[in-house]
Amino acid sequence: MNETPTPVSHSPEESRKAFIKARAGRNRMIALGLVGFAVLLFTITALRLMQNIADRVPG
């Protein structure tokens, strides 16, 4: 069994396409992650505001 990773044998064009495809996938996930993080922060802010309004002493 191989002990070390063996570079996959591809033509330069195939390697380039694989690299672009993988990079595109990673970029999509990073974008989703950033949007998700922004949504989480927005949600937390909204809930905190609602809680503070509810805790506000009337008058």
Partner 1 sequence: MTTPIQSSAADTATASPAEWRDYVALMKPRVMTLVVFTALAGYVAAPAAINPVMAAIAIFALALGAGAAGALNMAYDADIDLRMRRTRNRPVPQGKVSVADAYGFGIVASGLAVILMALSANYVAAGLLAFSIFFYAVIYTMGLKRRTPQNIVIGGAAGAFPPMIGWATATGAVSLDAVILFMIIFLWTPPHSWALALYKSGDYADAGVPMMPVAKGPKRTRLEILIYSLILVPFAAAPVFTGLGGAVYGACAIGGGALFLLLAFRVWRSKAGEAGSAKDGALYAVRAGDKQARDLFAYSIAYLALLFAALIAEHGLGAYISLGFGA
| Contact residues for partner 1, defined by CB under 8 A | 3-8, 18-19, 21-23, 25-26, 28-29, 37, 40-41, 43-44, 47, 51
The upper half-sphere exposure of residue 36, i.e. CA atoms within 13 Å in the direction of its Cβ, equals: 6
DSSP secondary structure string for all residues of 3-37: SSPPPP---HHHHHHHHHHHHHHHHHHHHHHHHHH
Which one, 35 or 37, has the nearer CB to partner 1? 37
Task: Report, in Å, the least distance between residue 59 CB and partner 1.
Answer: 26
Which one, 41 or 59, has the nearer CB to partner 1? 41
